[in-house]
Amino acid sequence: MRGLGVLGLALLAGCARAVTVEGTTVSARQVAYAFGPIPAAWERVRVPDDDAAWLDPPHGAVVHVDHTCERSQDAPLQALVQHLLIGFTDRHMVTEEDLPLDGRTARHVVVRARLDGVARMLEFFVLKKDGCVFDLGYAAPPERFEDGRGAFQAFVRGFRTTRTPLSDAR
C-alpha cells in the first residue's frame, strides 16, 4: 500500500511540471506564454527542466525557454542570471542591462564564457512576472554567435505571458 502512495505522489509531481508546446505557445498547469517565430532551421530537442529547446544547426547554437513559479525564485534578477551561468568558467560580461519585456523589467546579458573548456557566447533574458520567473537563452560558438542572434532576438521580442498564477487570481 505504501508503494502505491509513493507512486501516486510521483505521478502528481510529474503532472505539476507537465508542459505542452504548440507552435509558439507554451502551456503548463499555472502558466501559459508565447514567444516569437521559430525559424525553419531550428530543430526541437528535449532538454531536461526546460519548457522547450531547439538546436540551430547552421549556427551551432542552442535556444531555450523555461519558467518556474516557486517562491524560492523571489531573488534579484542578477542572482537569477548567475544561476543560469553555473558550470560556465572564464566568464566575461559583454552586455549587462535592464530592458522592458512583456510589460516588466527583464535582465539582459551577453556573456563570453567556457563550458568544459569550450568557448561559448551566451545571451539571456530573465523576467519576473506575477510570481513566476521566465528565462530565454541562446548559446553559440563565438565565431557564429552574431549570425544567429537576430532570429533569437525576434523569438524574444514575441514573448508575452497569457496566464500566470496571479493573473488567474484577479
- 85 assigned to some structural domain: yes
Task: Note the pLDDT tens digit of each residue in 67-114.
Answer: 998 765 678 999 999 999 999 999 999 999 999 999 999 999 999 999
- 135 assigned to some structural domain: yes
Task: Note the pLDDT tens digit of each residue in 103-145.
Answer: 999 999 999 999 999 999 999 999 999 889 999 999 999 999 9
Question: Cβ contacts of residue 124 below 8 Å, gap of 6+?
Answer: 81, 84, 107, 108, 109, 111, 135, 136, 137, 138
- 114 assigned to some structural domain: yes
CA–CA distance, 78 with 46 (Å, rounded to integer): 27
CATH number for 33: 3.40.1000.10
Count up the domains in the chain and report the number: 1
Q: Side by side, which strands form the sheet with 52-56?
A: 43-45, 52-56, 61-68, 132-140, 118-129, 104-115, 89-101
Residue 129 structural domain: 19-169
pLDDT > 60? residue 13: no
CA–CA distance, 105 with 140 (Å, rounded to integer): 25
